[in-house]
Amino acid sequence: QFVNFEFDSYWFTEGGANALAWMQRLGTRMKLWHINDRGTRISGSAVTPILKTDSMELGTGNMDLDSLMAQALSVGVDAVILESHRNWVDNSPVKSLQVSAEYLEKHM
């Protein structure tokens, strides 16, 4: 009851874990949800052979954000923290934020 979590669903998914199952397991102890989508815009060879995916704008990647969002809302998270990398759509951090904000407005 004294330990709460900021859950980063991207890295759980990237590591091969079931993010939704972990969110369900944490229940109301998940106070903050660190969110981004996951995919790639890489064409040609990557900077490193390990890199296969990167952060994407919400709703443009391959994560099941609808299910994750429903779970986060069902436990009443205190805040959703949007993460952005330099993999911005059209190389624009502003456009990246706009795309993700549109997703959040539609689904929250």
What tens digit of pLDDT does each residue of 1-52 get?
A: 789 999 999 989 988 899 999 999 999 999 999 999 998 766 666 555 666 6
Residue ranges per structural domain of the chain: 5-107
Whole-structure pTM value: 0.83
The DSSP secondary structure of 82-98, one letter per residue, reads: E---S--GGG-HHHHHH
Comparison of pLDDT for 100 and 48, the residue scoring more: 100
Pick from 93, 94, 87: which is nearest to 51 by CA?
87
pLDDT score recorded for residue 93 = 92
Q: For residues 8 and 87, which has the higher predicted lDDT (pLDDT)?
A: 8
pLDDT tens sequence across 65-84? 999 999 999 999 999 999 88
How is residue 16 annotated by DSSP?
T
Class of the 5-107 domain?
Answer: alpha beta
**According to the model, what pLDDT value does residue 30 have?**
96
What pLDDT does residue 52 have?
Answer: 67
